[in-house]
Amino acid sequence: MNDPAMSQVCYHEVTRVAPRIWLAFGLKQDQEVYLQIGVPVLERPKDYRPSFALVGPGLPQAHLPLAVTLGMGARVWRTTRVRQPQFFHEPFTGTDSWILREARLEVPQAGRYHAVAFAPCDKPAKLWLAIGTEERCGHRLGCGRGNAV
């Protein structure tokens, strides 16, 4: 991802083979990153509460259910306490979602960072992870799947 300030979303179906979604990007020292997680408006994932994390240099050590490179820390956001998700209709794609949580964080140092979304116990379902707030047309996001940074 070339510009983490640009609003981009990546949809993911959590499966045993692909339990997490990863977004990688570079940030400058003290640069703010905006992240948001949600699920589609479907009956099955109505009570589904995935978590997300920012992994990178200079962040504190955190307990994660995944492997990260030595020397990387993380900031984790959980959605287990969300009772009333925010409804959102995306007019461009015609999709409806429940926004579960959003976060803003200034990173302590420059480097390569990773946003990762993961589900409790890797339970199968659908989720999406978004980054950035600046709306621009004509760009596509490459989404990564895997288990480690």
pLDDT number for residue 1 = 62
pLDDT number for residue 137 = 62
Task: Phi first, then psi: give them for residue 134, nearest 5 degrees.
Answer: -80, 120
Q: pLDDT under 50 in the chain at which residues?
A: 139-142, 145-149
Contacts of 77 (CB under 8 A, 6+ apart): 35, 37, 51, 52, 53, 101, 103
Tokens of 143: 């989404």
pLDDT number for residue 133 = 85
Q: Does this model's pTM top 0.95?
A: no
Query: Which residue in 78, 74, 96 sits closest to 87, CA to CA?
Result: 96
pLDDT number for residue 143 = 52
Tokens of 36: 């948001």
Do residues 74 and 149 lie in contact, with contact meaning Cβ atoms separated by under 8 Å? Answer: no
8-143 carries CATH number 1.25.10? no
> Would you call 139 helix, strand, or coil by DSSP?
coil
pLDDT number for residue 114 = 94
